Amino acid sequence: MSDAIVESAAATAGDKETGASRFVRACLRRPVDRTPVWFLRQAGRYMPEYMAVRKHHSLLEICRTPEIAAEVTITAAERLDVDAAIIFADLLLPFTPMGLDFEFVAGEGPVVHTPVRTLEHVKALRTDRVEELQYVARAIEKVATHFSAPRADGDTLGIIGFCGAPWTLAGYMIEGGKQGGGDRNYIETKKMMYSYGPAWSLLMEKIVTVLVAYVQQQIEAGADVIQVFDSWVGKLSVRDYRQYCLGWTTELVQRIKALGVPVIYFGVETASLLPAMSETGADVIGLDWRTPLEEGWKAVGAGCAVQGNLDPIALFAQEDVLKEQVREILNGAAGRPGHIFNLGHGIVPGTPVENVIRVVELVRELSAR
């Protein structure tokens, strides 16, 4: 018997006692009966049920009304029959109690009205009103109650809370305007960062303080795992990430882990950044779709679990291509404990729901041990 199998058998016996879900076990690199699967942005605009709710409520209304946020979260997880539900919220919600006004402008994404550009602006940011974000925790409680009973296969659904990473949130705060386009150079953000003066360090410190308190509310409400989104970390060189961001991100990850839950750390265009990202000590690294899974796993090291990483646009492909790509990702993981199947970035509007459901079926079929 190989060492891996001996280790598997021992860990499985322990897990039966802890009763952790398949998803949480995979985050901790424990053996599972099959690869757990969920999707980034699984409750988004591609889904008719979400659009029906969206007709009557703005994005922020949905986020700030626990009944509606819980309903949207539950509907998506049940329709897709995935192994984890990510709470419906947005990265930018903590801006409001920090004193930064923003809105979602149709076709433009988030806009911060008075961007943070000076030390005085940073000093004015509040860190003492995180209680105002309790609506997210109330929504998590509702989702956790709904999914408290095991499903037909005996497994309990994992519940994911989330927050942004310091770099990605600072980018929205400092740039202020249209975000998410590949054309953005992050000039203002990098100017503040390169000065590495009191403005950058105070901003990073305030963001971490707010996020730890916010995430603690989510965990107390029932989040099993926290995902940290560093969506725009790929805009940084490895040297700049190491010099200006890694320390703060590590502090955030370590303080969340100290609250007793596994952390998934996800970024986009991270091929060169993966070894540094794994130094945060995150339990799981989310791989973007550009890196072959096996290569990505090598880059983060065997001490980390990995999540990913189908190209979200492959969901527009026909059955044989979809099956081939799902199979390749599962082959890349080779049944080693510690793989969570996901996309390598969020589902985009227009994605056929039936193809998303088909991927869940394929993962089940092809990964059963």
Query: Is 44 assigned to a binding site?
Result: yes
DSSP-assigned states of every residue in 18-50: HT--HHHHHHTT---SS--B--TTTTSTTSHHH
DSSP-assigned states of every residue in 50-67: HHHHHTTS-HHHHHH-HH
Give the tokens for residue 359.
């991927």
Using the structure block, give the residue that is written with the tokens 């419906």: 88
179 binds ligand CP3 (CB under 6 A): yes
Three-class SS of 172-188: HHHHCCCCCCCCCCCHH
290 binds ligand CP3 (CB under 6 A): no
Considering CB under 6 A, how many residues would be counted as binding ligand CP3? 24
From the list 11-19, 42-50, 281-289, 290-298, the region that binds ligand CP3 by CB under 6 A is: 42-50
- Tell me the backbone φ, ψ of residue 206, rounded to 5 degrees: -65, -40
Q: What is the DSSP letter of 162?
A: E
| In the complex, least distance from residue 239 CB atom to ligand CP3, rounded to whole angstroms | 23
Is 22 within 8 Å of 155 (Cβ atoms)?
yes
From the list 8-16, 104-112, 182-190, 316-324, the region that binds ligand CP3 by CB under 6 A is: 104-112
186 binds ligand CP3 (CB under 6 A): no
Give bridge partners of residue 85 from the DSSP assignment: 159
Report the residue number, 357 or 366, with the smaller CB distance to ligand CP3. Answer: 357
- Tell me the backbone φ, ψ of residue 311, rounded to 5 degrees: -60, 120
344 binds ligand CP3 (CB under 6 A): no
264 binds ligand CP3 (CB under 6 A): no
Which helix H or strand E contains 78, and what residues bound it?
A: helix 66-80
| In the complex, least distance from residue 38 CB atom to ligand CP3, rounded to whole angstroms | 9
| In the complex, least distance from residue 79 CB atom to ligand CP3, rounded to whole angstroms | 12
253 binds ligand CP3 (CB under 6 A): no
Q: Site residues for ligand CP3, window 53-72 (CB under 6 A)?
A: 54, 59
Residue selected from 21, 231, 291, 367 as contacting ligand CP3 according to rule CB under 6 A: 231
Is 26 within 8 Å of 36 (Cβ atoms)?
yes
Residues of this chain that interact with ligand CP3 (CB under 6 A) are 40-45, 54, 59, 76, 86, 88, 90-92, 104, 109-110, 162, 179-180, 229, 231, 345-346
Residues at the annotated binding site for substrate? Answer: 41-45, 90, 172, 231, 345
